Amino acid sequence: MLDRTRLRIAMQKSGRLSDESRELFARCGIKINLQEQRLIAFAENMPIDILRVRDDDIPGLVMDGVVDLGIIGENVLEEELLSRRAQGEDPRYITLRRLDFGGCRLSIAMPLDAEYQGPQSLQNSRIATSYPHLLKRYLDEQKVRFKSCLLNGSVEVAPRAGLSDAICDLVSTGATLEANGLREVDVIYRSKATLIQRDGEMSDEKQQLINKMLTRMQGVIQARE
Ligand code: ATP
Ligand code: ZN
């Protein structure tokens, strides 16, 4: 059983946020041995346990109070928030600090030959995405009706495969879109990695440790600016 007096932090096990999350912990002076293929890593010099999971699981782990802190892309966090609200829940968490990595945008893209004159061009179209709630929030604001096609991977091939008219997916350079004959027509959400804390009571010891980490993080991030 895990020791609940130790601060529990969730980070992505492997992917676009994991190297920089690890680097941030190291620069904050937290010594962790992450070499092994383990779910949990223990800090050697502080009462901190690191849980290494898929990024999609991190918002829920924080909202459910299973871990104390998490580093997660705002895109995934916001989608989980909207999804839980749609199910009638009232999920809670505290944003401690927006981080200086993991930058990307969630964009709508269409085949090169498709006409686009603003969101109205998407009226009644089918859009493939892994972010149905963020997409719906945006298109509801624009009064655009659409049908979504939920895909958790290979979203960019959907138009070519005849599954959808457009896609809504994460973009950083645009190279993947181009390789699939798509062009970015609208940005619906700009994201970065962020550090969040679970809602609810925290022991004084844990809160002091969190505050110390935050002060160090501030210094690390300022020095990189
Ligand atoms: P996991 O196996 O943990 O589920 P994943 O494949 O869902 O990983 P990654 O591709 O590693 O996720 O992306 C994690 C996060 O990195 C994204 O949710 C986003 O916040 C950020 N990110 C930054 N740039 C990009 C990009 N170009 N494409 C996708 N995600 C990006
Ligand atoms: Zn994921």
pLDDT digits (tens, 9 = 90+) for 4-57: 899 999 999 999 999 999 999 999 999 998 776 789 999 999 999 999 999 999
CA-closest residue to ligand 1 atom 5: 15
190 alpha carbon to ligand 1 midpoint, in Å? Answer: 13
For atom 1 of ligand 1, the residue with the nearest CA is: 54
Residue that has been written with the tokens 């969630």 in this structure: 106
pLDDT of residue 3: 79
Q: What is the pLDDT of residues 106-164, one digit of tens each?
A: 999 999 999 999 999 999 999 999 999 999 999 999 999 999 999 999 999 999 999 99
Sheet containing 146-150, strands listed edge to edge, beginning at the edge strand earlier in sequence: 146-150, 125-129, 166-171, 104-111, 182-191
First to last CA, the chain: 40
Nearest to 21 by CA among 217, 197, 161, 165: 217
16 Cα nearest atom in ligand 1:
11
Q: Report the nearest-CA residue for atom 22 of ligand 1.
A: 102
> What pLDDT does residue 33 have?
82
**What is the predicted ipTM?**
0.97
Nearest CA to ligand 1 atom 21: 102
Q: Which ligand number lies closest to the CA of residue 107? A: 1
pLDDT on residue 38: 85
Minimum-distance ligand 1 atom for the alpha carbon of 72:
20
Q: What is the pLDDT of residue 36?
A: 66
Q: Distance, CA 75 to ligand 1 centroid (Å)? A: 9
Label residue 184 by pLDDT band (50, 70, 90): very high
- Beta bridge mates, 132: none
User: Looking at residues 74-101, what average pLDDT do you find?
Assistant: 98
Which residues sit with Cβ closer than 5 angstroms to ligand 2, an ion?
55-56
Q: Which string of b and e fits 120-155 if b means at least 16 CB within 10 Å?
A: ebbeebbbbbbbbbbbbebbeeeebebebbebeeeb
How many Å lie between the centroid of ligand 2 and the Cα of residue 140? 25
Q: What pLDDT shows up at residue 211?
A: 98
With a cut of 80, say whether residue 72 has pLDDT above it.
yes
Q: Inform me whether the pLDDT recorded for 173 exceeds 90.
A: no
Q: What is the mean pLDDT of residues 170-186?
A: 94
81-111 burial by CB neighbour count: b if 16+ within 10 A, else e? bbbbeeeeeebebeebbebbbbebbbbbbbe
Q: Is the pLDDT of residue 99 over 80?
A: yes
Shortest-distance atom of ligand 1 to CA 14: 3
